[in-house]
Amino acid sequence: MPRAQTSHPLDPLSAAEISVAVATVRAAGKTPEVRDSMRFIEVALVEPEKHVVALADAYFFPPFQPSLLPRTKGGPVIPSKLPPRQARLVVYNKRSNETSIWIVELSEVHAATRGGHHRGKVISSKVVPDVQPPMDAMEYAECEAVVKDFPPFREAMKKRGIEDMDLVMVDPWCVGYHSDADAPTRRLAKPLIFCRTESDCPIENGYARPVEGIHVLVDMQNMVVIEFEDRKLVPLPPADPLRNYTAGETRGGVDRSDVKPLQIIQPEGPSFRVSGNFVEWQKWNFRIGFTPREGLVIYSVAYVDGSRGRRPIAHRLSFVEMVVPYGDPNEPHYRKNAFDAGEDGLGKNAHSLKKGCDCLGYIKYFDAHFTNFTGGVETIENCVCLHEEDHGILWKHQDWRTGLAEVRRSRRLTVSFICTVANYEYGFFWHFYQDGKIEAEVKLTGILSLGALQPGETRKYGTTIAPGLYAPVHQHFFVARMDMAVDCKPGEAFNQVVEVNLKVEEPGKNNVHNNAFYAEEELLKSELQAMRDCDPLSARHWIVRNTRNVNRTGQLTGFKLVPGSNCLPLAGSEAKFLRRATFLKHNSLGHTIFT
């Protein structure tokens, strides 16, 4: 008989498992110096092979679905337990400037280890040359302190009328890769500088006063300023009364006090059911995961379709990267090309919704666990929000002969998290609808990254938003990775990608009225062929189609991928940031869609 398992193979690592993984790697350090120099960038689950997930869902975890496994002669061979879980660690050695990747096998971990003993086993480790892992909040704080304590910097700020360093904000930005001088053989940052006013506002918006003309380059490994130049004296923008994000009346405006309360209540509780990280709602079921880099991950998405039972749709859904290139060629903005997932981590910058709930109604929260820079475990409580929303009309019809009308309201299930990366906030939402639709949505909020203007100056590459202040033009690219499995059991490869374009029929005997159009399909046979762009003029979309299953009309089943508003990079083909972001040159790459 299968043994009871405490963690599903796709569950995020627990705090105890992270502690074991860190202790195992640290103990494997050859010398005390090596162990003391280890900085733990990321500890995440090694996702198992799909057949292991199927085995777990079939026999080890409710709702127990043996149909997920292929039929075999003599019946299935059921092991007594699942393979041990594994952790993948990205470790930075501060002394040697080396980045290494470790795989650690974890035994059953029920609580934090005691007495200094660890229960993990190193499976592999390798040094990855000439790369830099994401920067950490601890490094950011240390970098800010180093810059503010640098005498030439203090002198430059004094020229601008600022002597109180407590007002100064130093935002370290990854140096990017504009030339060989920026090569990732060194851990470098080029900070952006801002300055608050001497107000007593508890949430002063320092981003409204950018400090321009100061060039700083910081060696983040040794935490020293290695380049400094006060290139141009640009006056600080004046303190605008609208700069802060306090209540409107405190800024000379009026609050919307005439809005009456709107109550969202569910007196009988929610319609969803949650067991651990497994969610069931309105025929949908899936698992919730979370990683330091991506944040929210949705696993094993399926739809229960009457007599056809559980129909798989996707093995894994997530946003894997976010690229923000700026379009102003002036200093320092041309270097602002953020890779917010790879350079910072969307998950590690997630909010605890205990500090301000962004959802309404009956809410189920999920916590997230991470390692900090020194290997300690930190928990973001109430990190992921699960709730239902009323979404207007799903379907309606009124018969004009009888006057009878029927209407169905739309309910959707939303899974979300929100993160802050420097000045911006990003809300990531996955919506599941009653009509079988899945929608990915990103909400952008927070504060703009701004630039200062000389008196009377305007900028072609931005919008003036206040005296002496402008917002440089820029783009946000959100990269979604979808590992689809439409009507496929684990191990099956019966999916293909088809592109659909609407075509206008040529005038002739088949189109004598010149009104005919039709949908034309093209099978995309390789990833190279699948490097495609959106085309609203032909209503272009893609279908991930199963090659064996048919619906009741005899057509092959599939899931349609419909792009939203979209745009390719508004930069020249030789733009420096595209060396790291060649994937942005097309909207679709195989099963990856960019929105």
Q: Which residues are catalytic?
A: 340, 424
CA dist., res. 218 & res. 153, Å (int): 12
CB-facing half-sphere around the CA of 534: CA atoms within 13 A: 16
Cα angle for residues 172, 175, 178 (degrees, 5° grid): 160
DSSP 3-state of 24: helix
DSSP 3-state of 331: coil
DSSP character at residue 391: E
DSSP 3-state of 308: helix
CB 594 within 8 A of CB 584: yes
Q: How many CB atoms lie within 10 A of CB 414?
A: 18
Q: How many CB atoms lie within 10 A of CB 268?
A: 7
User: What type of residue sits at position 49?
Assistant: E
Cis check: omega of the bond before 490, within 30 degrees of 0: no
CB-facing half-sphere around the CA of 545: CA atoms within 13 A: 20
CB 337 within 8 A of CB 192: no
Residues 6+ positions from 306 with CB-CB distance below 8 Å: none
CB 323 within 8 A of CB 576: no
Sign of CA dihedral 584, 588, 594, 595: positive
- E strand or H helix at 7: none
Direct distance between the N- and C-terminal alpha carbons of the chain, in angstroms, rounded to an integer? 46
Q: Tokens 């506002």: give the residue.
A: 201
Helix orientation angle between 137-148 and 151-159, rounded to the nearest 10 degrees: 70
Cα angle for residues 476, 482, 486 (degrees, 5° grid): 150
CA dist., res. 233 & res. 418, Å (int): 37
Backbone angles phi, psi at 554, to 5 degrees: 85, 5
Which token pair is 153?
A: 């910097």
Which token pair is 592?
A: 């990856």
DSSP character at residue 82: P
Based on DSSP, count helices (H) and strands (E) in the chain, helices before strands: 5, 32
CA dist., res. 540 & res. 593, Å (int): 13
Of 583, 586, 545, the C-alpha closest to 563 is: 586
Residues 6+ positions from 1 with CB-CB distance below 8 Å: 80
Of 278, 302, 282, 283, the C-alpha closest to 63 is: 278
Backbone angles phi, psi at 408, to 5 degrees: -125, 125
DSSP character at residue 13: P
Q: Tokens 């490994």: give the residue.
A: 221
